[in-house]
Structure 1
């Protein structure tokens, strides 16, 4: 077993800043391409369904690499791991910039997704490891700024960049920032995690590929041309693989992903709660711009800019709510957040809104609620686990959050499309049919938010179990 290196307070500050800027930039790439879809469709001469694989494929690859992060943290120095992730992302971005065809571009996106999938759970584990328990809420609140704000800011930043450059300008931006962070990393990164060398279990990796099938089915099920029989076969095969994965993790001495974390009930509740709050965040960032354009009739640029206030509030609140959780406790903080989310979806479900400023205010209410819930839930879940399981715990919670977020988007899309279609079939105007579809989405996620509020009520504040 190798021990971690000590850091002075000044070095620790720059270590965290470097890590968070790198993670923030890579996080933006997850949600930034939707604004560029029309440009890419024309440039490569592809269909709308094909171009969506730049985001869908990214999400799938990111999710299947997350379970490997605990093994990497145990077997590589964090400095080596962080630098390797940045290099992988940079090389992937370079491939995208030079891509002569869409499929070459997709290869670059896969490399970017692998980097993000490893880094997302790893940086949270490292932050929890180097932060005293009494300050974990504050530092994870700052981490929440990276997670939530990057997701919300991705379409905004890409819209601004694309307004002045071509689609390649967006990836130039990513590459410049990541290359600068790479240079700084050689100076400030340290090996902060204890290491226990273990053999990589390739059979577990093969079984974990069942996630690909599950996520593929989730993303395809809402499409009109989807083949239900084929998707059912893929889903059943994927679930069998994931069942074998779970059985193997619980039966071998050095699992790829230690699922014993799921035996801690408080941790399980925290996993669900962070997933439910993430569903509300990602659905708002995807559904609201559609409402602005399809019902309120604003331009794509205005619909993108309308996301700015919510993203700004989320950014401001994340560090504040982290400090609040340290002072008054995690459970009261998360109850406040879930109440905000419940009220936001409830008002959307009950009212028919024709003013964009009211929609912006409700988006701010829901996204602000997310700041009170998502990272405090991650921190509380980690505090429920022994130190040796924290890396596995963050990998599980990050993977589940992504899967639930993808499921939320698929469900929202499916409901919106089908209720809109029923509205037009019943003789309603397209605007009225769209309104009915959106209201069905709002009622659905109002119900989801109520379940989240119940989960928050079941949680209990815990002392740090890592000592």
Structure 2
């Protein structure tokens, strides 16, 4: 792996703009989870409909991120960053002014488009402007952004909802987007090479239909059985489209996403672990607010404060893990973290009820995020470090696409199992109280999250601390000056 980095005037400022813009977008993934009950009441909708505010956001990201590898070869860094921030700004304003559920959902979609542009650009640019020996710290901070954004959403939004109302989640984000857009116009430099490859619209179509069909089917399972054509139809179409998309990429001279990144075993393993980690974060992010408010009857502010210590653990530990990663490598962190994740999930499964002391949920959430922080950043950094430079954008696009699919799948499956758990208790105990029914649904869904944590532990055993990677002869270290003007 080359130690060479592209020189820019202020790499730290560029990194800050990209990371903070991405943070706001990822915060937006789960920010409305704490407000779902308020929105359901205001717009007279059910949980299976309201969850589209999260699932739809992730659906757009999953569709758009694969295209990002192509966008980065057609548009300059400045164009993509500024464009992504402006779209995000427009989306938040539309959502803040929403008069009905459809308008709110459309605002979420527009914001998701902006975020879908920013996420892969951030990953690719950071790999280009910082040398490999500094990536542990940089990727540690980036890992903090990726995990803290969606994790902190319910906490911050709980305070905002209780004091100002849910539309102010978007107004505050809009103000921050304005400041970031001004900063980006001044500070962002072009660092990517524009090659303008031929656009394969068939690949774009297959990718869109594939990821869209898959996530739509998973989200619809919350309201319909898998035997319903509304579920298995999109699921089947999605799977077939993704298979055709993958097959087409392997036969193209200039694929939309270069799937050869998965020939690197540690990249594949790291991507899988990131996928499962994001799935757990987003599942927990939508389940706990429903539980704390619906079963334990906490206010939005109190529910948010219960989740704050877990987020604080993530905030403090991420840079430390990033700094130590450069010295110790990934293996120690991912195995230890995976064991801690399993312990956290076992605690959730065993203590959740309609009368659980709040401190037990607080401790379980802290334990869970202590483990996730030790797994996520090392997995991502180790995965991307395996790739030669010309595959950075493809590796970033592949990893970030799967992360968004994981988030959407986690949210959809969690709500589906939550509904199934409630129905199961109602069938056996028709006289159960509303908090008991809700707690049973949450506990049922956490069996799924616990199973995922066991998979993460098994995969962690195969992580290698050091993998020799030969730099491809095709790597072009020098970036043309004309591109960087």
TM-score by length of structure 1 reads 0.91
Pair 292,49 (structure 1): closer, same or farther in 2 beyond 3 Å: closer
- Assess if the C-alpha contact under 8 Å between 1:280 and 1:366 holds in 2: no
> What does residue 414 of structure 1 align with?
416
How far apart in 1 are the matches of 2:99 and 2:284?
34
Measure, in 2, the Cα distance between the counterparts of 1:317 and 1:122: 25
> 2:475 matched to which residue of 1?
none
Tell me what 2:217 maps to.
Answer: 217
Tell me which residue corresponds to 2:432.
Answer: 429
Distance 1:156 1:350 in 2: 24
Please tell me whether the aligned partners of residues 383 and 465 of structure 1 are also in contact (alpha carbons under 8 angstroms): no
1:449 and 2:478 aligned = no
Aligned to 2:7: 6
2:20 aligned residue: 21
Output the CA distance in 2 between the equivalents of 1:303 and 1:99. Answer: 25
Give the whole-Å Cα distance in 2 for the aligned partners of 1:413 and 1:93.
Answer: 25
Q: Relative to 1, partners in 2 of residues 1:56 and 1:346: Cα closer, same or farther, differing over 3 Å?
A: closer
What residue is the counterpart of 1:185 in the other structure? 184
Q: Offset of 1:45 from its aligned partner? A: 5.5
Aligned equivalents of 1:360 and 1:406: distance in 2? 25
Where in structure 2 are the equivalents of 1:5-404 lying within 5 Å?
6-8=7-9, 11-41=10-40, 44=43, 48-209=47-208, 210-224=210-224, 228-351=228-351, 354-404=356-406
Q: Give the direction of change, closer, same or farther, for the CA distance of 1:465–1:299 in structure 2 (3 Å limit).
A: farther
Quote how far apart the aligned CAs of 1:295 are: 4.2
Deviation at 1:96, TM superposition (A): 3.2
1:101-126 CA distance string (max 9 Å, x none):
54344333221111111211221121
Q: Check the 8 A contact 1:4/1:193 in 2, yes or no.
A: no
Distance 1:276 1:55 in 2: 18
Cα drift, residue 338 of structure 1: 0.8
1:245, 1:384 → 2: CA distance? 24
Does structure 2 retain, via aligned residues, the 8 Å contact 1:133–1:464?
Answer: no
> For 1:415, what is the secondary structure of its paired residue?
helix
| Residues 125/464 of structure 1: CA separation in 2 closer, same or farther (3 Å cut) | farther
Shift of 1:153: 1.5
Mark the CA change 1:446 to 1:57 in structure 2 (over 3 Å): closer, same or farther.
Answer: closer
Judged with a 3 Å threshold, the aligned counterparts in structure 2 of structure 1 residues 204 and 111 are, in CA distance, closer, same or farther, namely same
Alpha-carbon distance, 1:94 to partner: 3.1
Offset from partner CA, 1:47-86 (integer Å, 9 cap, x none): 5544433322211111100001111222222112101111
Instruction: Indicate if the aligned counterparts of 1:349 and 1:442 stay in contact, CA closer than 8 A.
Output: yes
Question: Contact 1:278–1:370 (CA<8 Å) still a contact in 2?
Answer: no
* Cα deviations by residue, 1:218-276 (Å, 9 ceiling, x for unpaired): 11112257772331122111222111111111111111111111222221111111111
| Unpaired runs of at least 5, structure 1 | none
Stretch deviating more after TM superposition (39-48 or 273-282): 39-48
CA distance in 1, matches of 2:300, 2:93: 29
In structure 2, relative to structure 1, the CA distance for the partners of 1:26 and 1:437 (3 Å cut) is closer
- Please tell me whether the aligned partners of residues 4 and 192 of structure 1 are also in contact (alpha carbons under 8 angstroms): no
Could you list the per-position Cα deviations for residues 187-232 of structure 1 after superposition, in whole angstroms to 9, with x for gaps in the alignment?
Answer: 1111122333312211111111221111001111122577723311
Equivalent in the alignment of 2:481? none
1:23, CA displacement in angstroms? Answer: 1.6
- Unaligned stretches of 5+ residues in structure 2: 473-485
Alignment check: 8 A CA contact 1:387 1:465 kept:
no
Q: Rate the CA distance shift 1:309–1:169 in 2: closer, same or farther, 3 A.
A: same
Residues 230/440 of structure 1: CA separation in 2 closer, same or farther (3 Å cut): closer
Distance in 2 (CA, whole Å) between partners of 1:447 and 1:152 is 20
Q: Please give the secondary structure, in 2, of the residue aligned with 1:208.
A: helix
Distance 1:263 1:278 in 2: 23
The CA distance in 1 between the partners of 2:247 and 2:187, in whole Å, is: 40
> Contact 2:6 / 2:128 at 8 angstroms: preserved in 1?
no
C-alpha distance in 1 between matches for 2:445 and 2:50: 25
Rounded to whole Å, the distance in 1 between the matches of 2:296 and 2:212 is: 37
Provide closer, same or farther for how the CA distance between residues 402 and 442 of structure 1 changes in structure 2, counting only shifts above 3 A.
same
